[in-house]
Structure 1
Amino acid sequence: MEKKSEKSKAPDSVQEVDSRIAAVRDLIFGENIQQYNSEFDDIYSKIKALKEQNQKNLSESVTNLENKLADLESLMEHKFQDLNDDLDKRLADLDDEKADRRKLGKALEKIALMLQE
C-alpha cells in the first residue's frame, strides 16, 4: 500500500514543480513572450493579406488572359472569313471557260502571305 501512496504523491510533486517553473518563466520572460506573440500575430496577418492579394492578382491575370485569347480567336476567325471571301471573289472573277492560272497563282500567293502575317 505504501508503494501506491508514493506513486500518487509523485505526480502531484511533478505538477507542482512544473507550475513553479512556469511561474518563474512567466516572471522572467513574460513581457518578451507577449511581445513575440504580438509580432507573430502581425506577421501572420500580413502573410494572410499578401496571400489574399496574390490570389486576387492571379485570378485577375487569368481572366485578362482568357479575354485576350477570346479576342485573338475572334480576330483570327474574322481574318479567315475575310480570306475566304477574298478567295471566293477572285475565283468568281476568273473566267469560267478559261481559268487564268497566273491570276489564280497570284491570288493563292497573296492568301499565303496574309496567313503568314
Structure 2
Amino acid sequence: MKKNPEETNEPASNQQVDSRIAAVRDLIFGENIQKYDSEIADVYDKINILQEKNSKSLSEAIANIENKLADLESLVDHKFQDLNDDLDKRLADLDDEKADRRKLGKALEKIAQMLQE
C-alpha cells in the first residue's frame, strides 16, 4: 500500500496554512498582543515590588513586636522582683513584730512572778 501523494504533502501544507494564519493573526492582533504583554509584565513587576515591600514591612513589624515583648518581659520580671523583695521585707518586719510581742509577753510573765513572790 502506497500512500497517496496528497497524504505526504498534508503536513507541509498544514504548516503553510498555520504559518499564514499566524502571519494574519500577527498583522491583525500583533500590536494589541504586544501591548497586553507589556501591560501584564508591568502588573507582574508591580506585584513583585508590592510583595517585597509587604515582606519587608512584615519583617520590621515582627522585629518591633519581638522587641516590645522583650521589653515587656523585662519590665514584668523587674516588677515581680520588686514585689518579691517587698514581700520578703514585710515578712521580716512581721516576724520582728511578733518576736517583740513574745519578748514583751515573757517580760510581763517575769514581772507577774516577781510580784507574786
What's the TM-score, normalizing by structure 1?
0.77
Q: Which residue of 1 aligns with 2:45?
A: 45
Equivalent pairs, count: 99
Q: Which residue of 1 aligns with 2:67?
A: 67
Q: Which residue of 2 aligns with 1:29?
A: 29
CA RMSD of aligned residues (A): 1.7
Report the 3-state secondary structure (helix = DSSP H, G, I; strand = E; otherwise coil) of the residue aligned with 1:3.
coil
Where structure 1 has 5 or more consecutive residues not aligned to the other structure, the ranges are 100-117
**Structure 1 residues 6-15 or 25-34, which shifts more?**
6-15
* Structure ranking higher on relative contact order (CA contacts 8 Å, 6+ apart): 1
Q: Over residues 74-106 of structure 1, what are the superposed CA-to-partner deviations in whole Å (9 max), with x where a residue is unaligned? A: 11000000000001111111244727xxxxxxx
How far apart in 2 are the matches of 1:5 and 1:82? 102
**Change in CA separation of 1:75 and 1:97 when aligned onto 2, cut-off 3 Å:** closer
Q: CA deviation at 1:6?
A: 3.6
**Structure 1 residues 29-38 or 79-88, which shifts more?**
29-38
Letter in 1 for 2:77: E
Where structure 2 has 5 or more consecutive residues not aligned to the other structure, the ranges are 100-117
Q: Which residue of 2 aligns with 1:93?
A: 93
Counting aligned pairs with the same residue, the percent is 72
Q: Which residue of 1 aligns with 2:14?
A: 14
- Structure showing greater Rg: 2
